[in-house]
Amino acid sequence: MNPHLQYYQIGDTASFSKTISEYDCYAFAGITGDFYGVHVNEEHARKTRFKTRIAHGAMLIGFLGTLMGRMADKAPPPGAVSYRYDVKFKAPVFFGDTITFRLDLVEKREERSECVFDATCSNQRGEVVAGGQTILKVLKAE
């Protein structure tokens, strides 16, 4: 058993909210090279079912990664690392939407030194735009 799992308790949570801007999407596109029209080309996006540009889904995963980092910081050295993200996109995120990102610790897998979190991304209307689970691997001292 990994003694560092003691730093995590079922029910632990982390969250923050952010308004998604046009700048966020263009900066993300520049970093990743994902210039798909539905994200950066309003004329292209108007021809889609969304009728306007939407945020990158991978950017939402990145914001969940921020929370995973906060959770990883709870473990003393050698620490913990993001291990898995199993998230489904359920609704588009439009420029100007305020998204609340949240992790809730729902399971500890002692034999695998893992913490399993329910992950949700909800907009200002309370609609879940993405959700699933993430796994944090708590490292063992050698």
C-beta separation of 5 from 108 below 8 A: yes
Is residue 142's pLDDT more than 90?
A: no
Tokens at residue 127, please? Answer: 């609609």
Residue 78: which CATH number?
3.10.129.10
pLDDT on residue 1: 83
Is the preceding omega at residue 76 within 30 degrees of 0, hence cis? Answer: no
Burial of residue 97 (CB within 10 Å: 0-12, 13-18, 19+) is buried
Q: How many CA atoms lie within 13 A of 24 on its CB side?
A: 21
Q: Which of 72, 81, 84 is nearest to 132 (CA)?
A: 84
The whole domain housing 130 covers 3-138
Count structural domains, the chain.
1
Per residue in 18-62, pLDDT (tens digit) is 999 999 999 999 999 999 999 999 999 999 999 999 999 999 999
Compute the mean pLDDT over every residue in the chain, rounded to the nearest whole number: 97
